[in-house]
Chains A and B, each alone.
Chain A
Amino acid sequence: MIKRIFGAALAATVIALPAVAEYPDKDIKLIVPYGAGGGTDTAARLIQPHLEKVLGSNLIVVNMPGAGGTIGATNFAQTKADGYTLAFLPAGTAVVQPHLRKLQYNESSFEPVCRTIQEPVAIMVGPESEYTTLDKLMAAAKAGKVSAAGSAPGSFPHIGAVLVQKNYDVKIKYVPHEGGAKSARSVLGGKVDMLVDNIGLAAKFGIKALAVLSDKRAKSMPDVPTIDELGGPPIRLSIWWGLFAPAGTSAAVLDKLASACAEAGTSSAYISSVKAANKTPNFLGAGKFKALFLEQYKANATLFQEIGLKKK
Chain B
Amino acid sequence: MIEHLPEAMSLAFSWHALLAVLAGSVVGVVVGVLPGLGSALGLVMVLPITFGLEPAAAIAVLVSVYACSIYGGSVSAILINVPGTPQSAATVIDGYPMAQQGKAALALGWATVGSFIGGMFSLVLLVLTAPQLAKFSLNFGPIETFALILFAMTTIAWVSHGSMVKGVLASLIGVFLGLVGPDQMTGQIRFDFDFFALSGGFALVPVLIGIFAMSEVLIQAAFLKDASAPTVIEGGFKLAPWHEWCIRWKTFLRSSVIGSFIGILPGTGATAAAFIAYADAKRNSPRTGNFGHGEPEGVVASETANNAVSGGAMIPMLALGIPGDGVTAIMMGALTIHGIVPGVRLFSDQPALVTSIFLLFFLANFLILIVGAAGAGLYARLLRAPMSLLMPAVALLSFVGAYATRSAPFDFTVAIVAGVVGFLLRLNGFPLAPIIIGFILGRPLEMSLRQGLVMTDQNFFAFALSPIAAVLFALTVVVLLHPVITKCISALRGNGSDSAKEMN
Contact = CB atoms under 8 A, between A and B. Distances in A.
Contact of A189 (B51, B140, B329, B334): B140
Contact of A37 (B333, B345, B451): B333
Contact of A42 (B138, B188, B336, B447): B336
A192 interface: yes
Contacts of A151: 184
Contacts of A182: 266, 322
A296 interface: no
Nearest to B326: A35
Output the residue of A100, A155, A191, A276 with the most chain B CB within 10 A.
Answer: A191
B141 A186 contact: yes
Contacts of B44: 36, 63
Interface stretch (B1-9, B70-78, B196-204, B242-250): B196-204
Interface in A239-282: 273, 276-278
Main secondary structure of the interface of A (DSSP, over half): mixed
Nearest to A102: B194
Nearest to A66: B200
A173 B142 contact: no
A68 B407 CA distance: 16
A185 B370 CA distance: 38
A175 B326 CA distance: 22
A45 B187 contact: no
Interface in A162-192: 173-178, 181-182, 184-186, 188-192
A49 B48 CA distance: 10
A81 interface: no
Nearest to B51: A49
A181 B188 contact: no
Contacts of A188: 138, 320
B276 interface: no
Nearest to A74: B196
Interface in B24-62: 40, 43-44, 47-48, 51
Contacts of A104: 196
Interface string B197-219: 00111000000000000000000
Contact of A191 (B141, B187, B201, B407): B141
A155 B407 CA distance: 25
Interface residues of B, number: 52
Interface string A11-50: 0000000000000000000000001111001100110010
Given A37-B334, A101-B189, A64 B142 contact: no
B385 interface: no
B467 interface: no
B196 A153 contact: no
Contacts of A35: 326, 329-330, 406
Interface string B170-181: 000000000001
A178 B184 contact: yes
Interface in A79-113: 100-101, 104
B341 interface: yes
Nearest to A104: B196
A39 B91 CA distance: 34
A298 interface: no
Contact of A68 (B138, B143, B182, B337): B182
Contacts of B200: 65-67, 71
A195 B226 CA distance: 63
B168 to A, nearest CB: 27
A153 B187 contact: yes
A152 interface: yes
B376 to A, nearest CB: 31
A64 B201 CA distance: 13
B187 A205 contact: no
Contact of B455 (A41, A46, A101, A192): A192
A147 B455 contact: yes
B336 A189 contact: no
Interface of A: 35-38, 41-42, 45-46, 49, 61-68, 70-71, 74, 100-101, 104, 147, 151-155, 158, 173-178, 181-182, 184-186, 188-192, 203-206, 273, 276-278, 312
Interface of B: 40, 43-44, 47-48, 51, 138-143, 181-189, 196, 199-201, 266, 316, 320-323, 326, 329-334, 336-337, 339, 341, 343-345, 406-408, 447, 451, 454-455
13 contacts: A36-B329, A36-B333, A67-B181, A71-B406, A74-B196, A104-B196, A177-B184, A188-B138, A189-B139, A189-B140, A190-B138, A191-B141, A273-B337
